[in-house]
Amino acid sequence: MGAIAAQIDGVLHVMSDAPARQYARRMRIAIAGGTGTVGRLVTDAVRRHDHEPVVISRSTGIDLLTGEGLDTVLDGVHAVIDVTNTTSMSAAASIRFFQTVTQGLLAAEQRAGVHHHVVLSIVGIDSTETGYGYYQGKRAQEHAVQEGPVPFSLVRATQFHEFARQMFERVKIGPFVLVPTMRTQPIAAAEVAERLVELAEGAPAGRVADIAGPRVERMAELARRYGRAAGLAGRVVEVSLPGSAGHQMRDGSLLAGTSAQLRGPEFAVWLREQTGSGGEAKTPRQVGVAGIPIVRAPLPTAPEPSLSNARELIASLQTAGMPITLTIDGDERRLPVHVDEVAFRALQEGVGLVLTRTRGVDATAIVRYLPHAVEVEVAHGPGRTTPRAGQAASLSRSRAEIRRLGGAIGAGPTDDGGFRLSATIPTPE
Ligand SMILES: NC(=O)c1ccc[n+]([C@@H]2O[C@H](COP(=O)([O-])OP(=O)(O)OC[C@H]3O[C@@H](n4cnc5c(N)ncnc54)[C@H](OP(=O)(O)O)[C@@H]3O)[C@@H](O)[C@H]2O)c1
C-alpha cells in the first residue's frame, strides 16, 4: 500500500491510497511481542485482515530468551512479525536481548518451516558509529535477520506517537518528566502495525522503504501535549543527552529521508482521537481508541522513598537513557525512617535539578554513609548551567525538612561551570 501526501493550507496531509484488498488465503501469523504497544495493534490488524494471530510473549507463556515452547506455537505459522522490545538502553544488554531473541526465533522458524520473518526497526539507528546503546541492539537485530536463514522483510519506522506516553511511564522523577531533546517525525503505532501486516501478507521483500509520520515535532512538546490532554501529573523538562547519541537526537538524524513512506494521522489528530482533545482539554476519556489506555495521574513510577531504593531510582533513569551514575560509599545501614525518607527526597530532587541542567554532560550521584550522618551529593560538570524557574520552590521544601533534622543542604553552580546539590543529615542512634 502507498500513501498520498499533499500540502493543503501549509499543512502536509497524508492519506492512504490503498484499495480494499482481498487475500486469497487465511494465514496464521505469529506476533512476537504481540502484547506490547505496537504488538497489540499488530494483533488487532492481523484479525482485521481476517488472519489468525498467534501471540508470543512472556505473559502468554513464552520467554524468547530461552525459546521454550516456541516450536509448538510456530506449528502451521506462515509468517512471524517480530515486535519484541527491551527497556534496557545499555548497549551490552540491548545487543544481548535482540541477538538472543532474533537468533532463537529464526532457528525455530527454520525448524517449523516458517518462510517469512518480518521485523520492525527504527529510522536513523546507523547514523553514528556507536550512538545510543539501544540502537546498537537494534543494529544487531537487523544484522541477525539479514544474515539469518529465513527470508525476511525489514521496515524501519520513526518514533510512535505513543512514545509521548511512554515518557510519562519510564522517565518520571519526582515532579519532573525528563524528555531528551529530540527532533522526531512521529507516526501512529496503528499505522506501523498495518504496514507490518501488509508486509507479512506479501512475499519477503528484504529492507523496504522507511515509514514515518507527516510532521516534524519536538519530543518534549509532544509529551507536554499528551500529559495535558490525559491529565497526567508531572512537569516535562527537556534534557540534552551527552555524546554522539544526544547530538543525533537533536540534529535531525532520526527524521525520515526523502524516500520514506509518510502515513498520517499527525500527532494532533491522533491525540484528539485518543483523548477527545488537541492537547488542551482537562477532561480526557479513560480509554483511548486502538486499545491505548489513557491513565489519570499519577502513574506509579517512583520507588518507595528510602535510600535503600537509590539503586533502583538511578537504574530506572539509566534504563531510560539518562546520563547518570551512582556511587554508594561507606557501610549501608538502616536509617531512622524520617531521615531515610528526607534523604531519598533530596537525592530525587537533586537528580531532577541536575539532569534538567546537564546540557550534554554526564551527572553523578553519591550517597555517603558517614558514622553519624548520611550525605547525598548530585552533580554534573564541567559544563554550562541553565537556571530554570520554578524549581527553587520544591528545593525549599527539602531545605526546611533537612534543617528541621539538624542538617544542611546547598545547591548551585560550581566554579568549573557545573552544578551541584549536596545535603548532609545527621543520623541519631
Ligand atoms: N516505541 C517506539 O517509538 C518505536 C519506534 C519504532 C520502532 N520501535 C520498535 O518496535 C518494537 C516494539 O516496541 P514497543 O514500544 O511496542 O515495545 P513494548 O511496548 O515494550 O512491548 C514489548 C513486547 O515484547 C515482549 N517481550 C519482551 N521481552 C520478551 C521476552 N523475553 N520474551 C517474549 N516476549 C518478550 C513484551 O511482552 P512481555 O513483557 O509479556 O514478555 C511485549 O509484548 C521494538 O523493537 C522497537 O525498537 C519502537
pLDDT grade, residue 9 (50/70/90)? very low
Cell 547519541 maps to which residue? 245
Same domain, 250 and 333: no
- CATH of residue 115's domain is 3.40.50.720
For range 56-83, the mean pLDDT: 96
Regarding the beta carbon of 39 and ligand 1, being less than 6 Å apart is answered: yes
Summarize the chain as % helix, strand, coil (round to 5): 35, 25, 40
Statement to judge: residues 315 and 198 lie in one domain? no
Residue 213: CB within 6 Å of ligand 1? no
Residue 120 pLDDT class (50, 70, 90 cuts)? very high
Q: Are residues 230 and 94 in the same domain?
A: yes
User: Do 279 and 333 belong together in one domain?
Assistant: no
Query: What pLDDT score was predicted for residue 282?
Result: 36
Q: Which of 291, 322, 350 is the last residue of a domain?
A: 291
Q: Are residues 154 and 239 in the same domain?
A: yes
Atom of ligand 1 nearest to the CA of 186: 3
Ligand 1 geometric centre to CA of 64 (Å): 12
* Higher-scoring residue by pLDDT: 352, 139: 139
Residues 338 and 257 in one domain: no
Cα-to-centroid distance, 258 and ligand 1 (Å): 27
Percent of the residues in the chain that have a pLDDT greater than 70, as a whole number: 81
In this prediction, residue 277 carries a pLDDT of 60
pLDDT tens profile 26-49? 999 999 999 999 999 999 999 999
Buried/exposed 291-307: b ≥16 CB within 10 Å, e otherwise: ebebbeeebeebbebeb
84 lines ligand 1 (CB under 6 A): yes
Q: What CATH number corresponds to the domain at position 365?
A: 3.30.565.10
Query: Residue 317 has what pLDDT?
Result: 76
Give yes or no: residues 280 and 313 share one domain: no
Statement to judge: residues 188 and 258 lie in one domain: yes
In the numeric block, which cell numbers belong to residue 108? 525455530
Segment (H or E) for 92: helix 91-112
**Residue-level pLDDT at 320:** 67
The number of distinct structural domains making up the chain is: 2
320 C-alpha vs ligand 1 centroid, how far in Å?
Answer: 14
In a domain, 220, yes or no: yes
Percent of the chain with pLDDT over 90: 53
User: How many whole angstroms separate alpha carbon 240 and alpha carbon 235?
Assistant: 16
Q: How confident is the model at residue 250 (pLDDT cuts 50, 70, 90)?
A: confident
Q: What is the CA(97)–ligand 1 centre distance, in A?
A: 11
Query: Does residue 316 have its Cβ closer than 6 Å to ligand 1?
Result: no
Going from the Cα of 413 to the center of ligand 1, the distance in angstroms, rounded, reads 40
Residue at which a domain ends, from 260, 291, 322? 291
Overall average pLDDT of the 231-251 stretch: 81
Q: Is 186 in the pocket of ligand 1 (CB under 6 A)?
A: no
In 147-181, which ranges are continuous DSSP H helix? 163-170
CB of 163 closer than 6 angstroms to any ligand 1 atom = yes
Higher pLDDT, 373 or 384: 373
> What is residue 150's three-state secondary structure?
coil
| 327 in the same domain as 265 | no
End-of-domain residue from the set 239, 257, 291: 291
| pLDDT at position 291 | 29
Amino acid, single-letter form, for residue 55: V
298 domain residue, yes or no? no
Domain of 365, in residue numbers: 307-426
